[in-house]
Structure 1
Amino acid sequence: MTPPTTQVDSPPAHRWGFGAFVLAELVLILSAVFLSAAAGPVGVDEPIPPIVIVVVTALPTMLAAGVAVLATLLRGNGPVIDLRLRWSWPDVRAGLKLGLAGLVLTAVAGVIWARTVGKLDPSSALASVVDAQPMPVALGIVMFVYTWLVGPACEEMIYRGLLWGAIERLRWSRWAAFTLSTAIFAVSHLEPLRTSLLLVIAIPIGWARLVTGRLPASIVAHQINNFVPALGILLMSLGLWR
């Protein structure tokens, strides 16, 4: 199905490109490695401190999103223009619809994935860690808010914002931007077993960016998709679900 044509004003040219995206990815990966190393070694049977889980999970993505914003401020027109962050209710409604459709698609894909791979849990690596090492309620709430709202916004700024804008700067088609951002988003999670599932999850999120021409729709779609796993993390921390 061909996405409807959207009327989006062409933003002024920016001077950042793939280099800015690569820098953001390096910040994400290296900060995660540094923070993990700074936390010290953990024995096989030794639980990971909950605060370490929160910091190593949330801070690298937030730092990488900060790099995306900084790139637009230093070499562009700011995040609202360069990352297409202008909010509108039609975009929010589109994100809600595609996010809900994505939940159904993700549920079906999750069942197929689990049956294909075997008895492995298709949930995220983070949920598996939290399940093995429950965290205090306060940190559970922090992780719920991050996983549901903050994390998706940061990831969208990196992949459907910075990466998408870098592809646009080369004057490639929006289909190329959609395909590349979807694939790189899935691979960048560094969860090889779940890459195919992440590809499916990313399709409606990227589609929201494609059909509206702006980032808020994909942010909302991503947040809708993340609500269920975020709720699972919260319930685990409350001891209400195992």
Structure 2
Amino acid sequence: MKKLFNWLGNIAGIILAFASYQILECFYFLPYQLEKMLHINYAILIVLTVVATVLVVAFIFYLYQSQLKTANEWQFNQSPHWDVRRLLIMLVGLILIVVCAYSLQILLGMTKSTSANQATLDKISLQAGGLFIPMVCIIAPICEETIFRGLFFNTFFMKETRINKWLGIVCSGFVFAYMHDPSITKFIIIYWVLGCILAWVYMTTKDLRYSILTHMLYNSLPYLLNSVSLLMK
């Protein structure tokens, strides 16, 4: 009975963490709308955004750490946290994501089309101002990796077995993909593969820092490449 209550508590934690993340997105994606709705100036909104970010990220990490204290057969998040081997795994994961994303776009004939999720993000970027890039490149990877990798494995694949590892990677990848493409278009295949690679990085390094960093670098690539192209002109 205790295990059942712990499991239900973990599920409730995932729901609360995702809901908190969705609320936080509003601060970054709808700043001017919130500014008008709350009748505050932009400077105060920025302060509220920073406070909300700290609270939400701290809350999600607290849930993750609490789960690890209850059960951690996989030995996640063990010291030392940084070493060359895991940095190389992270680099391999980043290269795989880039290669797979580009290759799948070609194979599926999607080089000239855009997913609904990306189209929405492109539209949001026009109205979010300077808060869009920090959300996409920093905050989103932290929250999404903690929820879709950390909390997910701690809840549904706690037992350290080979089957659980690979089944967890596939399932984690699909949940990640579905949240990015709930309409289940052909783009879900790309998101699924990307999610699986991020899950593989997490399960291979046993440390959330590496999948977060991989996710951050991938999301930052378009902006980094754009900056490089501008400097070369």
Q: Is the TM value for this pair above 0.5?
A: yes
Structure 1 residue runs without a partner (length 5+): 1-14, 42-49
Match of 1:71 in 2: 63
Separation in structure 2 between the aligned mates of residue 30 and residue 148 of structure 1, nearest angstrom: 17
Identity across the alignment (%): 18
1:92 to 87, 90, 94: 87
Matches within 5 A, 1:1-242: 15=6, 17-30=10-23, 32=25, 38=34, 65-72=57-64, 77=69, 84-86=76-78, 87-89=81-83, 90-113=85-108, 115-116=109-110, 119-122=112-115, 124-125=118-119, 127-129=121-123, 132=126, 135=129, 139=130, 143-169=132-158, 173-190=164-181, 192=183, 193=185, 194-231=187-224
Paired residue type of 1:99: L
Separation in structure 1 between the aligned mates of residue 59 and residue 74 of structure 2, nearest angstrom: 13
- Alpha-carbon distance, 1:94 to partner: 0.6
Q: How many residues align?
A: 206
Structure 2 residue runs without a partner (length 5+): 1-5
1:128-155 deviations in Å (ceiling 9; x for gaps):
22665594xxx2xx54444334432222
Q: Tell me how large the CA RMSD over aligned residues is.
A: 4.4
Separation in structure 2 between the aligned mates of residue 58 and residue 110 of structure 1, nearest angstrom: 36
1:58-116 deviations in Å (ceiling 9; x for gaps):
998876543321224556539x9999344222222211112112111111123344x25
Task: Identify which range, 17-26 or 164-173, moves more after superposition.
Answer: 164-173
Paired residue type of 2:69: N
Higher helix share: 2
Report SS of the residue matched to 1:155. Answer: helix
Match of 1:45 in 2: none
Query: TM-score when scaled to structure 2?
Result: 0.65
Task: Sort the Cα spacing of 1:213 and 1:103 in 2 relative to 1 into closer, same or farther, 3 A.
Answer: same
Query: TM-score when scaled to structure 1?
Result: 0.63
Report SS of the residue matched to 2:157. Answer: helix
**Contact 2:73/2:158 (<8 A) preserved:** no
Separation in structure 1 between the aligned mates of residue 16 and residue 200 of structure 2, nearest angstrom: 25
**Contact 2:149/2:172 (<8 A) preserved:** yes
Task: Sort the Cα spacing of 1:221 and 1:76 in 2 relative to 1 into closer, same or farther, 3 A.
Answer: closer
Separation in structure 2 between the aligned mates of residue 62 and residue 181 of structure 1, nearest angstrom: 25
Separation in structure 1 between the aligned mates of residue 197 and residue 155 of structure 2, nearest angstrom: 21
